[in-house]
Amino acid sequence: MQQDDRRLAVLRAIVQDYVSTSEPVGSKTLVERHRLGVSPATVRNDMAALEDEGYIHQPHTSAGRVPTDKGYRLFVDRLTTVKPMSSAERRAISSFLDGAVDLDDVVQRSVRVLSQLTHQVAVVQYPTLARSTVRHIELVSLTDTRLLVVLILSTGRVEQRVVEVADDFDDEALADLRTQLNQVAQGGVIAEAARLLKELAEEADPAGAGATSAVVDALTEAMVDHRSDERIAVGGTANLARYGDSFTTAVGPLLEALEEHVVLLKLMGEASAGGALTVRIGAEGPYEELSSTSVIATGYGPRDEALATLGVVGPTRMDYPGTMGAVRAVARYVSKILDES
Amino acid sequence: MQQDDRRLAVLRAIVQDYVSTSEPVGSKTLVERHRLGVSPATVRNDMAALEDEGYIHQPHTSAGRVPTDKGYRLFVDRLTTVKPMSSAERRAISSFLDGAVDLDDVVQRSVRVLSQLTHQVAVVQYPTLARSTVRHIELVSLTDTRLLVVLILSTGRVEQRVVEVADDFDDEALADLRTQLNQVAQGGVIAEAARLLKELAEEADPAGAGATSAVVDALTEAMVDHRSDERIAVGGTANLARYGDSFTTAVGPLLEALEEHVVLLKLMGEASAGGALTVRIGAEGPYEELSSTSVIATGYGPRDEALATLGVVGPTRMDYPGTMGAVRAVARYVSKILDES
DNA sequence: TGTTGGCACTCAATACCCCGGAGTGCCAAT
DNA sequence: ATTGGCACTCCGGGGTATTGAGTGCCAACA
């Protein structure tokens, strides 16, 4: 089994070299750069075996080897560990994020620091509403027939909607309705609050034609609204310029995906499930055009609830340990900030 | 002077051909494609003259000519007119924008339609707060010592801030303060409202230590806050993939600029001044790295007030008449929507 | 059985050269 | 002022030679 160990060491070395040089790596340069203690010929034998098993691949006969998706997968799963941040990097993260003034700012700063640490495109999903609770509901009459409904959530997010109501709706009725709504909904998880509000509306206004129904409809709509649930911040796209070659093939579709937030969310999607660090390599993903890009993502949120997802998108040829470390570190720090606020 | 006219016609033809083929254009192909009614030799003479005057330039001896920034400038200013949208394009704009549900949605849809019409990167600034008026101020007590201050503006934007207050601040005082604030500020342009609020605070609370001062400070901060004033939406970056060559030189810095909203605003800045269609060609701009990109922008807003700026960023080699037409059309349509709401 | 040195072979990348063609500038003729 | 003619320039594409990193295989060895 000592032999097997060395083979894995060879694979690890291939991945590392290829990531840093971006050129197919041959047996000779490999033994020069890494102290493998064996001759190039031996390495060649190992390489042939690794290729048979599908971990590496040669672009053409008599060229060096390049890791396949399967090779990267093995590397990530078994041959490396998440690289912890250096203290300088940790300082950078904290000093960057500590200055944030509100939730939006936290998200935007996270994107920035993440893209700078990893030199990749960073993606941060705004904390989802799903687990947040209702802090307050406010009604403001704009004109005789228009009412502004404001929903304030525990995450600090504020959603507002304008609803049309019949004009026989005076200030007293307004205050009354406001009180009722808050009594019912305040403090509840939004799914629960939405249910209770609907009951309230049906009771007070069985025909469904009155102001209460209109307001409740607006509120529930705001609660489940996908647009707000799926907000995303993207940053570091300038890093795509370093792709150099394989440009039109890879960068175009990627830029498109980055604008299609639905696609992006799907890409990052599974990550939020367990809250664990998720790595999706190349063609493992659902999109043909993104077969040469990898996604590293993780859930984050206060008190270990995974409210949302955050991560980076980059070429399959990327520094997995370092990037994973950065993603994890930023996620932890952001979670801590959300914890405190 | 007939001669001069022809020279300009030659310049126009050069710009048009170069934009559509992206290759330096020579005298022979020029007379073939455009009915200039003269021989290639004559065109060559004209070209030599145009080159002397700095309107065109040859990449190397015995190659065709390429317009200079100065050439594009003359083209835009005197040799062409803004191309009106076709009825199909107009339909596309209206059907795209009519579905918008709120201000954010209008902006996002504008970015999208603009980038699709022009095949360039589109940039839309959110309507600035500067000219908007205060519609309502709302106070909500979150905990004993924390107060949520909500500022609702005529543009439909809602700004919120949390302030800490002394805990001897009961509900009655809260209602009282709310009434006062609204009496003073409601309906006023924000600059005016901010001034009046400050007076109110000084009167009610000369020491500057009480709740009124804290709330007013939060409000005025929200009013002048640059971050909200400078929000920008960017779309169509995938169009950058078509740059093909001159990639790393041009696209990298451009992507950076697109993320630096401050830079972007400066680029588009002057446009909002008159509300007129502004074209900035290549090195005319303030940024060295963007010397091969042009910006076409215009102000927009309800009732011909230029509340904000909108436009596209693309290579100097772009279809100016068509792009200008699209920018103008979208700006007009968005303004109309803002007018109605 | 696994490792090693040697050796012939392969093939992308590079350099080199050549040539065609598009384009120019200039000049003399109209 | 315009035009046709002509010599000249130079980029770009296509072919060929060379290089060198890298491979696979084999025989020798521990």
The pLDDT score that the predictor gives to residue A162 is 82
Residue B56 sits in a domain whose CATH number is 1.10.10.10
Express each pLDDT in B241-259 by its tens digit: 887 666 667 788 899 999 9
Give, in Å, how far the C1' of D4 lies from the CA of B39.
9
Burial of B249 (0-12, 13-18, 19+ CB in 10 A): middle
Q: What average pLDDT does this structure show over B35-46?
A: 92
The pLDDT score that the predictor gives to residue A129 is 62
Which of B166, B195, B222 terminates a domain? The answer is: B222
Domain match, B105 and B155 both: no
Q: What is the DSSP letter of B179?
A: H
Question: Is B45 contained in some domain?
Answer: yes
Question: Is A82 contained in some domain?
Answer: no
Which of B178, B204, B222 terminates a domain? The answer is: B222
Question: Is A210 contained in some domain?
Answer: yes
| Lowest pLDDT segment from A128-137, A261-270, B70-79 | A128-137
The pLDDT score that the predictor gives to residue A226 is 44
Domain match, A62 and A189 both: no
**Closest Cα to residue B243, out of B293, B201, B286?**
B293
Mean pLDDT of chain A: 86
Q: Is the pLDDT of residue B267 over 50?
A: yes
Give, in Å, how far the C1' of C7 lies from the CA of A41.
13
SS3 A156: coil
Question: Is B50 contained in some domain?
Answer: yes
Question: Which positions in chain A have a beta carbon within 8 angstroms of at least one beta carbon in chain B?
Answer: 105, 135-136, 138, 140, 142, 148, 150, 152, 158, 160, 162, 227, 235-238, 240-242, 244, 247-248, 251-253, 255-256, 258-259
The pLDDT score that the predictor gives to residue B53 is 94
Domain match, A328 and A233 both: yes
From chain A, the residues in CB contact with B244 under 8 A are 248
Residues A217, A91: contact at Cβ < 8 Å?
A: no
Question: Is A145 contained in some domain?
Answer: yes
Burial of B78 (0-12, 13-18, 19+ CB in 10 A): exposed
Q: In the beta sheet, which residues pair with residue B125? A: B232
Q: Is the pLDDT of residue A208 over 80?
A: no
Residue A207 makes CB contacts below 8 A (sequence gap 6+) with none
Domain match, A65 and A15 both: yes
Which of B207, B222, B237 terminates a domain? The answer is: B222
The residue of chain B with its CA nearest to that of A139 is B138
**Residue A186 — pLDDT band, cuts 50, 70, 90?**
confident
Question: Is B294 contained in some domain?
Answer: yes
Residue B166 sits in a domain whose CATH number is 3.30.390.60
Domain match, A95 and A121 both: yes
The pLDDT score that the predictor gives to residue B228 is 52
Domain match, A101 and A142 both: no
Residue A322 sits in a domain whose CATH number is 3.30.450.40
Domain count, chain A: 3
**Which residue among A142, A150, A248 places its CB closest to the CB of B244?**
A248
Q: Which domain holds residue A63?
A: 3-77
The pLDDT score that the predictor gives to residue B105 is 87
Residues A255, A277: contact at Cβ < 8 Å?
A: no
Q: In the beta sheet, which residues pair with residue A122? A: A235, A312
From chain A, the residues in CB contact with B313 under 8 A are none
Express each pLDDT in A40-66 by its tens digit: 999 999 999 999 999 999 998 888 999
Question: Is A11 contained in some domain?
Answer: yes
Domain match, B261 and B334 both: yes
Question: Is B82 contained in some domain?
Answer: no
Q: Is the pLDDT of residue A67 over 70?
A: yes
Domain match, A157 and A181 both: yes
Domain match, B291 and B332 both: yes
Tokens of A255: 């830029």
Tokens of A75: 């590397």
Tabulate helix, strand, coil % of chain B (nearest 5).
55, 15, 25
The pLDDT score that the predictor gives to residue A219 is 86
Domain match, B207 and B259 both: no
**Residue B227 — pLDDT band, cuts 50, 70, 90?**
very low
Domain match, A141 and A166 both: yes
Q: Is the pLDDT of residue A138 over 90?
A: no
Q: 10 Å Cβ neighbour count for A91? A: 11
Torsion of Cα atoms, B199 then B201 then B202 then B204, to 10°: 120
Residues B3, B10: contact at Cβ < 8 Å?
A: no
Residues B6, B49: contact at Cβ < 8 Å?
A: no
Domain match, A258 and A313 both: yes
